[in-house]
Amino acid sequence: QVQLGESGGGSVQTGGSLRLSCTASGGTFSSYIMGWFRQAPGNEREFVAAIRWSGQNAEYADYAGSVKGRFSTSPDMAKSTLFLQMNNLKPEDTAVYYCAAMSRVGDYRLRSSYDIWGQGTQVTVSS
């Protein structure tokens, strides 16, 4: 079973950018639908983005309305790494960000659909 590890979080000012990485070990994430979620203090873990595959190529990506046009997710298959590029960051983007893998059929927007999770990485955006 694949294991996931996130990195790349940090602190930036409003309007800044960060790129998060999610590295897979013990398997290839092209066997899964991959998702990004985030959780701010006191809030539920919420959907950010998801990507699915056709063979080794990314077939389809979808984003939450709050990040569409600012965030994008893409893979580096050779490095078994999935990226989340976050631009024009806002204070409301502050959260712990998680990558996750879904191995079964389900709604990729739902946290409960995912069965493998990384440990999370903190993103803090100051005004």
Q: Is the pLDDT of residue 60 over 80?
A: yes
- Looking at per-residue pLDDT, the higher value among 110 and 80 belongs to 110
Q: What is the residue-averaged pLDDT of the chain?
A: 93
Maximum CA extent, the chain: 42
pLDDT in tens, 6-34: 999 999 999 999 999 999 999 887 788 99
- Per-residue confidence at 116, pLDDT binned at 50, 70, 90? very high
pLDDT at residue 56, rounded to an integer: 66
Percent of the chain that is helix, strand, coil (3-state, to 5): 10, 55, 35
